[in-house]
Amino acid sequence: MTGHYNCGGIRAALGDTDHGQIDNWLAYIKDVLKDNHAEISALPTEQEQVDRLCELNVICQVSNVAKTSIIQNAWRKGREVTVHGWVYDLKDGLLRDLKVDISGPDQIHEAFRIK
Ligand SMILES: [Zn+2]
């Protein structure tokens, strides 16, 4: 999974403006915001809040992908699959590894494991 800092979608999710159809997609990011509200709201600037929510959204999506039957079936068949979480920074062109790799079922909560 790759996100990018200063993302307009993430910025929109932090606000309360009506964006029409896009709001249905923003709801997933708002869930990440809700789950991390204390951490995000403690950051002093909107830019820092946007960039941290960019990271937290990637971390959440890494977890979501790892929970899918597609990934879990691959592991069960003995395939080596790792889900990575990266954020791209347009300012310096660097791709940052958030170091949240998930490479096996032992790294997801047992409630989501498929036997
Ligand atoms: Zn974006």
CA of 48 to the centre of ligand 1 (A): 15
Which DSSP category does 56 fall into? H
Q: Which tens digit of pLDDT belongs to each residue from 55-76?
A: 999 999 999 999 999 999 999 9
Q: How far is CA 8 from CA 66, 77, 78, 87, 101, in A?
A: 26, 39, 39, 14, 25
CA of 29 to the centre of ligand 1 (A): 12
What pLDDT is stored for residue 55 in this prediction? Answer: 98
**Domain definitions of the chain by residue range:** 2-112
β-strand pairing of 2-4 with 86-89? parallel
Task: Give how far the C-alpha of residue 99 lies from the chain's centroid of Cα atoms, to the nearest Å.
Answer: 12
What pLDDT is stored for residue 21 in this prediction? Answer: 86
Using DSSP, state whether 109 is helix, strand or coil: coil
The H-or-E segment that residue 39 falls in is helix 37-41
Q: Does domain 2-112 have CATH number 3.40.1050.10?
A: yes
Nearest to 25 by CA among 37, 13, 42, 11: 13
Beta-bridge partners for 88 = 4, 95
Report the distance separating Cα 97 and Cα 69, nearest Å. 25
CA of 113 to the centre of ligand 1 (A): 31
The H-or-E segment that residue 94 falls in is strand 94-97
Q: Which tens digit of pLDDT belongs to each residue from 6-51?
A: 999 999 999 988 988 888 889 999 999 999 999 999 999 999 999 9
Q: Which tens digit of pLDDT belongs to each residue from 75-115?
A: 999 999 999 999 999 999 999 999 999 999 999 999 999 88
CA of 69 to the centre of ligand 1 (A): 27
CA of 42 to the centre of ligand 1 (A): 23
Neighbours of ion ligand 1 (CB under 5 A): 7, 9
